[in-house]
Amino acid sequence: MGEYVRLEVADGVGTIRLDRPKMNAISIQVQEEIRAAAAEATERDDVKAVVVYGGERVFAAGNDVKEMADMSYTDMVKRSGPLQSAVTAVARIPKPVVAAVTGYALGGGCELALAADVRFAADNAVLGQPEVLLGIIPGAGGTQRLTRLVGPSKAKDLIFTGRFVKADEALAIGLVDRLFPAESVYDEAVTWAKQFAGAATFALRAAKECIDRGLETDLETGLEIERQQFAALFATEDRTTGMRSFVENGPGKAEFEGR
């Protein structure tokens, strides 16, 4: 368990909880603790889905600018890879991941939310990629994941201007998927994640990998990734269980073991 980031597990759901007062600024230490929490969530069999959460007040207001202010080009050459890969570690968790966004999710905080599979936000949340206002660009996946999520024109508007996006606009452009009252965002995210507690673990893993890897390549290659994953699932016990249950009892009644 890290000083500022911890993984809390209950009822099959792992919560990656950021807790660095006052605004969850993402320092080098926080980046490494996010990486460690993502690795733990990946490895633990009792974690079936993951919620990324910054607390009731704020998701994460951005990377630690004070820490970066005195870094040189050579400093950032060394640091930019680990910076990106810490967020990518969350994106690569082979389980459903939902970001529960409260308050501000700016810069590195927005990039962390983008690494989730879906984003639930408070109706008063504010998101954005304001790095250009500091004379830099997003460096932890923002130019790539935001573009893939909302399209190039909207991504360029947000990144070029650095403007903040309120919750209703974020929903309209697809930056977030659902809005809830601030006090219920986390509970709604946990409820969404809990539905996978008894799901076919390897089927979910395969589906996520097909979608994510397919987005990185051409259609023909994506279809081949899908074909291989589809065939491989016929080696799992869950496939046998699911099909037998369907034949005998109808759809949606299988009890999977995650094997």
Question: All domains of the chain, ordered by start, with CATH?
Answer: 5-194 (3.90.226.10), 201-249 (1.10.12.10)
Beta pairing partners, 6: 17
Look up the pTM and report it: 0.94
Could you give the CA distance from residue 182 to residue 193 in angstroms, rounded to a whole number? 18
Contact 186, 178 (CB under 8 A): no
pLDDT in tens, 185-199: 999 999 999 999 999
Contact 198, 256 (CB under 8 A): yes
Contact 175, 128 (CB under 8 A): no
pLDDT tens across the length of the chain (259 residues): 799 999 999 999 999 999 999 999 999 999 999 999 999 999 999 999 999 999 999 999 988 898 889 999 999 999 999 889 999 999 999 999 999 999 999 999 999 999 999 999 999 999 999 999 999 999 999 999 999 999 999 999 999 999 999 999 999 999 999 999 999 999 999 999 999 999 999 999 999 999 999 999 999 999 999 999 999 999 999 999 999 999 999 988 888 988 9
Burial class (CB in 10 A: 0-12, 13-18, 19+), 138: buried
Chain centre to alpha carbon of residue 75: 27
Measuring CA to CA, which residue among 37, 193, 63, 62 is closest to residue 120? 193
